[in-house]
A and B are shown apart, each in its own frame.
Chain A
Amino acid sequence: MKVMAQMAMVMNLDKCIGCHTCSVTCKQAWTNRSGTEYVWFNNVETRPGLGYPRTYEDQEKWQGGWELTKRGRMKLKGGGRLKNLMTIFSNPKLPSINEYYEPWTYDYSTLTDAPAQEHTPVARPKSLISGKDLKIEWSANWDDDLGGSTATAHLDPMLAKIADKVKFEFEQTFMFYLPRICEHCLNPSCAASCPSGAIYKRAEDGIVLVDQDRCRGWRKCVSGCPYKKVYFNHRTGKAEKCTFCFPRIEVGLPTVCAETCVGRLRYIGLMLYDADKVLEAASTTDDQGLYEAQRDVFLDPSDPEVIREAEKAGIARNWIDAAQRSPVYALINTYKVALPLHPEYRTMPMVWYIPPLSPVVEVVAETGEDAENKGNLFAAIDALRIPVEYLAELFTAGDVGPVDAVLRKLAAMRCYLRDINLGRDPDASIPAAVGMSEEDMYDMYRLLAIAKYDERYVIPPAHAEQAHALEELSTECSVSEYGGGQHDLFGEGSGVPTPIAVENFQMLQDRQTSDSLSGPENKSGRVNLLNWDGKGSPPGMFPPKDADS
């Protein structure tokens, strides 16, 4: 047994309202630069829909992820090592910019510079790639909320797997949102495809990163990733991907997407897993067995033997504690309500999803029946085969069994808790019907519905013994002493670059976790507005008032 720790996420799709706040804040934090205009480390897709980039899930076309050879060995779907190198000069499976969208801006100056004239001046869209006028025909969320889906939804690769006859009715009755970030897989095919070895999995927390100094722009990771979550920065010529906000995670803060999620639907925590069993699990013959196989790779952090092995592997005690309290572990293994996205790609993804019950509830409510009645909901889950089959295509390689079980648990929780809310006697038969105890059901409800910040995000800071050194403004030499900021300059180019890490995030963590209004002390003049959360006005934000004015 080789115990490794993995930072993982679970998203509760029932709570996603499709507001795109996660995408926007992520973009502001990481990809609002030239060359990454089209790059969305986090995006929210309406399903059914084409996804981003368009039809990325069609692996017969894009050849991402892994496949089993006839002899049961793992092989990159895009081809083995030699083929990979032979196609290096022109990647045959690289999505073109049109599969994403051609980024644009508007010619705003015509609005302000136009002379007085009869007709209102118009700001024309200009391509950020060619600089020319652009006819906008597609974008990251063109089919948001099923917009235009009558024209495009039939191209959804997952919908294509379901029988034709039901499509039309389906589109009218069923829709949900799927927020996606990098899966930080246990068996990442992007890393395996990288000729330079620039993509690596961090041994401490399993975060998959691109070493920008080693990447040579071969673009093999883009086609290797079945989720299409590695992007090519067309200005720098380097691959970039979701970083799981590692500078924040290192100081115990959740990712930006999770922090800013309006619906509070994201959970972050540690998973301990047995690295020796990953390959074997990923090689499971039956696609539909991959979900269970991956769950078997995870280790129970309360098992004394696992704890002993984890300590032997150098995992700090506070990390093991965090793994025991991990909401992600609870949702995946204790309550078994979270499912992996596309396990059939065999990358062992580590961002899991609780499938949405709401489409089913809505259908029941529309019929005028009681949508919180166990009988009605269970019957609806049975009757509405199409949504369930669609979810199964996403989360279990088409096996409706696990999806069915999850939806039943969610439905049972709804019914059971309604009795409690209305002051009636709780009905023990409801949890029993889905194989849960009353206590478990209530705990699951607490975690899904009212868990607070520190229950949703159980993130041990990176190596407590290093925390002091990580904090650059402690007793080590401070930033200004490293290189000396040029204090006489101001604006974007002044001083040394602010380190992305540590002190900003430590400050932010203090502010996030304190009950009172707080500001950074002894840091007047060094306010990072990106971190300002609107609480009060930190010292240094405005020039000091003159004593006599």
Chain B
Amino acid sequence: MSEFLFVVVPYLCLATFVVGHLWRYRYDKFGWTTRSSQLYENRLLRIGSPLFHFGLLGVVGGHIIGLLVPESWTDAVGISERMYHVVAVVGGLLAGLMTVAGMAILIYRRRTVGPVFSATTVMDKVMYAFLAVVIVLGMWNTIAGSILTIGGEYDYREGVSVWYRSFLAFNPDATLMAAAPLGFQLHALVAFGLFALWPFTRLVHVFSAPLGYLTRPYIVYRSRDDSRLGSHRPRRGWDRTG
């Protein structure tokens, strides 16, 4: 069972994530957008959206450190277990609370502001459900697992993180995950579900984070695209000769 849940399912989700994005980028560049609803409502968004997004950036950063950096590395540079724990919990709590607060405001807004609600697709609702469950489970793991230590101490850096790295290295060790508390197991599973959904939702906008803006020249010049005569490309097999 654990083989299925923590090896087969994650790889299926990962494959959907990668192939899905390739497909989406290839065939639906026009649909690749944030689908902002700021035009409809601004007051709640102005508070909720930055809270949520900046909080989430912190959360993602925390996950990268927690999951990808092995304990031996932090030991090697002399960061004690205790120090790491405090920083991780405080940072995680802060980012998590921002995310949850922002998400609460945004979901409230989406449900109660008429125009925003009517611009919400079914896919949006499914995605929101997954995202909310992942975030709540993550918060639960931080608060219940690391602070209140309900169900005993669990060092995810020796369990979940190792499994995750083994998963990325295509040499997965499901037993590590099977030994983790239920909260971590569910968090990971629902997160993989979210990854599988990702390419088919508005979440794709994450991958267009415009970092290039910091370095590109202000004004972009482009020549007319001569490969596009008229408004659509010639079909395959009708390549031009001249």
Contact = CB atoms under 8 A, between A and B. Distances in A.
B119 A234 contact: yes
Given A130-B114, A217-B34, A96 B42 contact: yes
B214 A499 contact: no
Nearest to A188: B219
Interface stretch (A193-201, A316-324, A524-532): A193-201
A118 interface: no
Given A96-B42, A130-B118, A131-B118, A216 B33 contact: yes
A90 B45 contact: yes
**Which secondary structure dominates chain B's binding surface?**
loop
A194 B213 CA distance: 8
A-B pairs with the 6 shortest C-beta distances? Answer: A195-B210, A192-B218, A237-B35, A213-B29, A237-B33, A499-B230
A187 B219 contact: yes
B119 A212 contact: no
A458 interface: no
A501 B230 contact: yes
Nearest to B214: A81
A89 B57 CA distance: 12
Contacts of A92: 46
A84 interface: yes
A535 interface: no
B221 interface: yes
B171 interface: no
Contacts of A161: none
Interface stretch (B47-55, B87-95, B134-142): B47-55
Label chain A's interface by main secondary structure. loop
B231 A501 contact: yes
Contacts of A496: 232
B222 to A, nearest CB: 4
Interface stretch (A356-364, A383-391, A469-477): A469-477
Interface residues of B, number: 47
Given A96-B42, A217-B205, A238-B30, A200 B235 contact: no
B83 interface: no
Interface residues of A, number: 63
B54 A89 contact: yes
A56 B238 CA distance: 48
B40 to A, nearest CB: 6
A262 interface: no
Interface in A480-501: 481-483, 496-497, 499-501
Interface in A234-274: 234-238
A499 B119 CA distance: 29
A89 B53 contact: yes
A232 B40 contact: no
Contacts of B50: 89-90
Interface string B81-120: 0000000000000000000000000000000001100110
Contact of A203 (B32, B39, B52, B223): B223
A204 to B, nearest CB: 6
B116 to A, nearest CB: 9
A502 interface: yes
B46 to A, nearest CB: 5
A510 to B, nearest CB: 18
A196 B34 CA distance: 12
Given A195-B210, A216-B208, A237-B35, A132 B40 contact: no
